[in-house]
Amino acid sequence: MEYLSQAGGLILDWQVLVTILAGTAIGLVVGALPGLGSVVAVTVVLPFTFSMDTVPSIALLVAVYCSSVFGGSFTAVLLNTPGTPQSAATVLDGYAMTRAGKGDLALGWVAGGSLVGGLVSTVVLVLLAPQLAAVALRFGPIETFGLICLALTCISGVSGKNILLGWIGGSIGLMLGSVGVDPLSGQTRFTFGSFAVSSGIEIVPVLVGLFAISEVIYRLNESEASRAAANIVPGFKLAPMKEWLLRWKTLVSGSVIGSAVGALPGTGAATAAFISYAAAKRFGRFRNDIGKGEPEGIVASETANNAVTGGALVPTLALGIPGDPVTAVMMTALIIQGIQPGTRLFVDTPELVYATFLLLILANLAMFLSAGVFSRVFSRIVSFPQPIQLSIIVVLSVVGSYGVRGNVFDLWVMMMAGAVGYLCRIASIPIAPIVIGMVLGPFLEQNLRQGLILTRGSFWAFFSSPIAAVLIGGAAVIILTSVLFLVRDWVKGKPSVVDTQVASFLSRQEQSDGKRR
């Protein structure tokens, strides 16, 4: 309590509060631009911290970090353009809500979910940082492989009845993730002599192509759908408390998943968002509507990806191990300030650790309050006439995809992904599994191969780790269950995968024709 009051004294300074507001605004804008995200946002403000005092510099970094994760969801919800992989799960229900004329509510769910996720993860950080850090140390390649396997099961969840097509998409995503330099041997793979491909296929252009460019093509081809999209209520609206309470389990589970996954080095917000989304799809109260514009899907994704911010600081502060590039940049800033993260930090400067916790809470509150203002600005974009809207999406997509590596090849990838995404959309083939495969593929491969090297080639030895056994077993059960449900439906004479696909396609076409008439 003594340290907490000391920490309170440190942060109650106008400089700190102004820095939090400025950091929140910068993070929201940079995070909302496709292709940028948290790493760029934190790196952009890093030079400013050199001339600042310790607490304001931590405040700036924490505020930018939290709000940049949140900002990525604005364009995901309003423009179907998830600029970063961590917003990819949000787009599935968020954009569906926007199309249904509930964009303001969707942004409310995003902001509320993010706030809850951020606050819960801060509480977790305050109460359990040393314990979580100890658990995180028990996660070697084998356990992380199990966790990624569990995350991959969300492919079944997002595929609906098209499980077979979903897993094919997932396999394609996993393959795309393995193009380029092999992380273990350094050898290039599947480049076919092309120098441009040797650096691999970047996730952001694929993401932008599959969602944003395919959306542009879709809207250009579907005039009725476009008019419906123009009927959007701009702004920010919070759902009644009753609605939030109905989804409390997902709020809690998403926050816990995000905090736990964030504490594991090398996993990240996208993995957490997909695991949480899969959990909501399987156990959520409104699981049957998730993927069709159900707020529970947004809540699952947003609580988890924002809870990662607190979780990721656990290994960084408690062990001195940065879990991802963002925390690595933040750790650099701390070291420049003369603070050495690690086990001694909690003993030598506890007031600074508690100040960081309090700053996280303030940053999350500032993020939530700013959401109201920024939502109005961003949602104006979707009120623009269709041609202007589409050109905004295209220009942002191009700049965002190019900005990741400064490579025109990425723009060609974006274009091809856009064409593929459009074809998948009109054929009702789920595109999210491709993204999930691409996000998780490199982690899966690296940990599998490291695990196999550790166990001298014995996959069965993976099960000697209780954590890995539970995680891999859980993943296997989930996959088998979904296959069994599929077989049961087929035996009972319910429509097959392809028939369902064709039926939904035909019904959409009939509706569209009806509107035209």
Judged by the rule CB under 8 A, the positions of this chain that interact with other proteins are 30, 33, 36, 40, 44, 164, 167-168, 171-172, 174-175, 178, 182, 184-185, 187, 189-190, 213, 216-223, 385-388, 390-392, 394-396, 398-399, 402-403, 406, 408, 411-412, 415, 418-419, 422, 426, 441, 444-445, 448-449, 452-453, 457, 496-499, 501-502, 505-506, 509, 513
Which residue lies nearer to other proteins by CB, 150 or 212? 212
Separation of alpha carbons 291 and 300, rounded Å = 12
Distance CA 135, CA 279 (A): 22
Give me the least distance between CB of 470 and other proteins, in Å please: 22
Task: Kindly report the number of other CB atoms within 10 A of residue 516's CB atom.
Answer: 8
Task: State in angstroms the smallest separation of the CB of 383 from other proteins.
Answer: 14
Residue closest to 458 by CA, chosen among 142, 152, 150: 142
Nearest approach in angstroms of CB 471 to other proteins is 18
Nearer to other proteins, 138 or 189 (CB): 189
Please state, in angstroms and as integers, the Cα–Cα distance from residue 91 to each residue in 76, 169, 373, 408, following that order. 5, 18, 21, 26
Q: How far is residue 440's CA from residue 422's CA, in Å, rounded to a whole number?
A: 23
Beta carbon of residue 434, minimum distance to other proteins (angstroms, whole number): 12
Sign of CA dihedral 121, 270, 426, 78: positive
CB of 496 to other proteins, least distance (A): 7
Q: Residue 243 corresponds to which amino acid? A: E
Q: Are 65 and 194 in contact (CB under 8 A)?
A: no
End-to-end CA distance of the chain: 70
Q: Least distance (Å) from other proteins to the CB of residue 362?
A: 26
Among 137, 141, 67, 89, residue whose Cα is nearest residue 439: 89
Q: Least distance in Å: CB of 20 to other proteins?
A: 21
Q: Which amino acid is at 19?
A: T
Block residue for tokens 């030079």: 47
DSSP3 helix / strand / coil % (the chain, rounded to 5): 80, 0, 20
CB nearer to other proteins: pick between 58 and 174: 174
Q: Which is nearer to other proteins, 335 or 453 (CB)?
A: 453
For 188, phi then psi, to 5°, come to -85, 150
Q: In degrees rounded to 5, what are phi and psi of residue 460?
A: -65, -25
Nearer Cβ to other proteins (139/218): 218
- Return the number of the residue (286 or 409) whose C-beta is nearest other proteins: 409
The distance of closest approach from Cβ of residue 501 to other proteins in the complex, given in angstroms and rounded to an integer, is 6
DSSP tag of 481: H
From the CB of 494, what's the least distance to other proteins, in Å?
15
Residue 310 or residue 451: which is nearer to other proteins going by CB?
451
Residue 415 C-beta: closest distance to other proteins, Å = 5
CB of 485 to other proteins, least distance (A): 17
Nearer to other proteins among residue 106 and residue 329 (C-beta): 329
- Using a 10 angstrom Cβ sphere, with 0-12 exposed, 13-18 middle and 19 or more buried, the burial of residue 193 is exposed
Residue 485, CA distances (Å) to 16, 134, 241, 271, 384 in order: 55, 39, 35, 25, 44
Min CB(506)–other proteins separation in Å: 7
Nearer to other proteins, 24 or 253 (CB): 24
Query: Distance between CA 296 and CA 284 in Å, rounded?
Result: 7
- Return all residues near 191 (Cβ < 8 A) that are at least 6 apart: 179, 180, 197, 198
E strands, 119-222, where?
180-181, 188-189
Question: Which residue lies nearer to other proteins by CB, 121 or 188?
Answer: 188
Q: Count Cα atoms within 13 angstroms, Cβ side, for 88.
A: 35
Q: Which is nearer to other proteins, 44 or 137 (CB)?
A: 44
Minimum Å gap between C-beta 380 and other proteins is: 14
Give the rounded distance of the alpha carbon of 356 from its chain centre.
24
Whose Cβ is closer to other proteins: residue 124's or residue 486's?
486
Instruction: Please enumerate in sequence order all residues whose Cβ is within 8 A of that of 182, keeping only pairs 6 or more positions apart, or say none.
Output: 188, 189
When the beta carbons of 368 and 402 are compared against other proteins, the nearer one is 402
